[in-house]
């Protein structure tokens, strides 16, 4: 083995440290202790956060080598564009997205289990499915809500810019979380009515969010499980970052329930990243690993979506790319 390959593989097998370090720094709130342009000494940061100064320095030095924070000398650190996103008060703060993985980080140990069985590694490590676990850990669920809003904020704007909802009269957002997406669509299309369908432990937070946006009169919230039923009455059914959470059999079950209630002239919208083909790098390939282990889900190619939809009685009619990672996958009932 040549030295270059040896060093590159060494870097890769130590790569878990980078993810873990970001999650730890986010949980500790280190970024909140540094104001841009005002470098802070590690000793001050350690005192403010109850950490070991030398260990904290080594972590920040490591992160700085990946453009997360910048060492200014004398063990002082300032922000970079990436580290500033980890501040709690940053617009669209990414801190919740990093924090949500902190208490469940051992789920990555389930990768081997997923490789052998095709099952969720999270289930193996924690003894229950991820979303069931969230339902019994309300504090983590609230961080998860904020994490999804932060992760998807650019997706929403990109979707609204790329896709025309003017032909939609009644939109059902299935598995719509706390309502950030349906709120954005309703605000841009004042004549549109909406419905948000979610589990009971999420629905209450969705009602509060819609009321705060002044949309509770235009959007109802229905509680339920999409594996059991999906409410009727809408002409368009939207699933954002839902189908990628589940394996093919589960996804077909969800889509079959949608097929039972969607009108023949209705439309189905799946908002997901479409897995690129070829050997090139892609954030979607990283997300595919997360989906496989965390929930047992899959990031799919265009052809895989086509086959999945056909199994549930839909025909893929178009894929509208956006300026973000996601595309709008539109399908019609067969």
Backbone angles phi, psi at 256, to 5 degrees: -60, -40
Q: Which of 290, 174, 298, 148 is nearest to 237 (CA)?
A: 174
Q: For residue 241, what is the DSSP state?
A: S
C-alpha 312/C-alpha 333 separation (Å) is 9
Provide DSSP, 265-286.
T-EEEEEEEPPPPSSS--HHHH
Which residues are registered as beta bridge partners of 76? 41, 73
For residue 294, CA distances in Å to 150, 214, 334 come to 19, 35, 33
Reply yes or no on whether 155 is catalytic: no
Catalytic residue selected from 75, 79, 152, 244: 244
Provide DSSP, 169-191.
SEEEEET-TTSHHHHHHHHH-TT
C-alpha 13/C-alpha 9 separation (Å) is 6
For residue 162, CA distances in Å to 6, 168, 179, 326, 328 come to 45, 15, 20, 11, 8
Which sequence positions are flagged as catalytic? 244
């Amino acid at each position: 083995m040549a030295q270059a390959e040896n060093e590159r593989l060494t870097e890769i097998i130590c790569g878990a440290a980078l993810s873990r370090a970001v999650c730890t720094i986010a949980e500790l709130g280190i970024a909140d202790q540094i104001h841009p342009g005002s470098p802070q000494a590690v000793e001050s940061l350690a005192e403010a956060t109850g950490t070991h100064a030398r260990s904290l320095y080594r972590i920040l030095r490591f992160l700085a080598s990946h453009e997360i924070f910048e060492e200014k000398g004398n063990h002082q650190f300032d922000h970079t564009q990436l580290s500033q996103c980890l501040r709690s008060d940053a617009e669209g703060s990414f801190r919740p997205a990093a924090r949500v993985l902190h208490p469940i980080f051992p789920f990555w140990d389930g990768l081997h289990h997923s490789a052998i069985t095709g099952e969720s590694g999270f289930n193996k490590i924690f003894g229950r499915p991820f979303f069931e676990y969230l339902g019994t850990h309300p504090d983590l669920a609230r961080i998860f809500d904020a994490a999804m809003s932060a992760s998807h904020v650019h997706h929403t704007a990109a979707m609204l810019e790329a896709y025309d909802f003017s032909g939609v009269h009644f939109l059902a957002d299935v598995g719509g979380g706390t309502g950030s997406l349906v709120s954005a669509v309703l605000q841009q299309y004042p004549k549109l009515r909406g419905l948000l369908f979610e589990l009971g432990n999420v629905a209450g937070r969705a009602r509060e969010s819609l009321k705060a946006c002044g949309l509770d009169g235009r959007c109802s919230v229905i509680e339920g499980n999409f594996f059991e039923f999906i409410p009727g009455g809408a002409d368009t059914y939207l699933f954002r970052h839902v189908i990628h959470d589940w394996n093919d059999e589960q996804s077909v079950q969800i889509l079959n329930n949608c097929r039972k209630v969607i009108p023949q002239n209705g439309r189905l919208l799946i908002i997901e990243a479409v897995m690129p083909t070829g050997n090139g790098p892609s954030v979607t390939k990283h997300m595919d690993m997360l989906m496989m282990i965390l929930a047992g889900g899959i990031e799919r190619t265009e052809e895989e979506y086509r086959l999945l939809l056909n199994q549930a009685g839909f025909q893929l009619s178009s894929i509208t790319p956006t300026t973000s990672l996601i595309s709008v996958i539109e399908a019609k009932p067969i």
